A and B are shown apart, each in its own frame.
Chain A
């Protein structure tokens, strides 16, 4: 559809031509209409100037290489490897004692060492009884032979002052 009563392309048709999606009708019109053709050429000329200036500007910018950055993974790998080594060492450092403990526990269970542990508990109880007996033997509640025979008043005073 041509623009209004004139015979020129409408803005939409012109845009379609510029985008590269012009209809056959538009193309036929452009072939005949110098005015519309000039509009299209002027647009392309402006865009061409912009592209020329902008690419020249871009090319004039300092050249930067990305090679150094590209090589970065090669230097990052050892870091990753060091991390892996550290993790492995930590796993070994923690794992071996844990394994050793569990292993020794199971061995003890199998060989009756637990019985020995129980024996030592009985020994402790026996020692405690002995200690209690010693305490009872030296307890002040039990009358001293000195007191029994009234050998010394001072010794009684001394016993009273002794902390319980």
Chain B
């Protein structure tokens, strides 16, 4: 009886160890797959350029600056692809790089940055015009555009941190934990920024929220 129990325990532990080894192997294989995906610079640009450009454009409010930061982000990602640990998605990793590149730019060009933002702001009317029609009525389409414009105008009034965190959460669909880790910010601080951003959105979008 005791021998059977010991044997079962040994089998169970072997099974667990085998599972752990296969899990490590599969995560390593996944990492290798992603790194090889990062090896193709054209594919990296094709898949991620628009999303990074969107994120940086609406967090900085400057499309021209966003273009430079997007290029720099993809370049840094390509050159540093070996450092990708595989513990998050490529999108999350790239967003983290984009934030660091933006911070670097802010540090070195703080005054010029804000002056440029004043003069090179996003054309929200142009952006709203890209809303897919989805075969809805012109009235609903116009209403949708107005809501997009309103939301963007609210984002413009937020601080850089509030706006960035709002976009990370609701456009990049990152978790609060991921945002906290990427920004090196306490979870409660991230939540506070989100609450303030949502309060502003709620007050501007009206009674519907």
Residue ranges of A at the interface with B (Cβ–Cβ < 8 Å):
11-12, 14-15, 18-21, 39, 42-43, 46-47, 49-61, 63-67, 69-70
Contact = CB atoms under 8 A, between A and B. Distances in A.
A54 B71 contact: no
B45 A59 contact: no
A39 B206 CA distance: 11
A158 to B, nearest CB: 87
A61 B45 CA distance: 13
A99 B45 CA distance: 55
A17 to B, nearest CB: 10
Contacts of B199: 11, 15
Nearest to B171: A51
A56 B201 CA distance: 22
Interface residues of B, number: 45
A47 to B, nearest CB: 5
A64 B67 contact: yes
Interface of B: 41-42, 45, 49-51, 53-54, 57-58, 63, 67, 71, 74-75, 78-79, 126-132, 144-145, 147-148, 151-152, 169-171, 175-176, 191, 194-195, 198-199, 201-202, 205, 208-209
A98 B148 CA distance: 75
A43 B209 contact: yes
B54 A65 contact: no
A55 to B, nearest CB: 5
A54 B57 CA distance: 9
B53 A61 contact: yes
Given A58-B57, A70-B75, A50 B151 contact: yes
B130 A56 contact: yes
A20 B176 contact: yes
Contact of A58 (B53, B144, B175, B209): B53
B81 to A, nearest CB: 11
Nearest to A51: B171
A46 B131 CA distance: 12
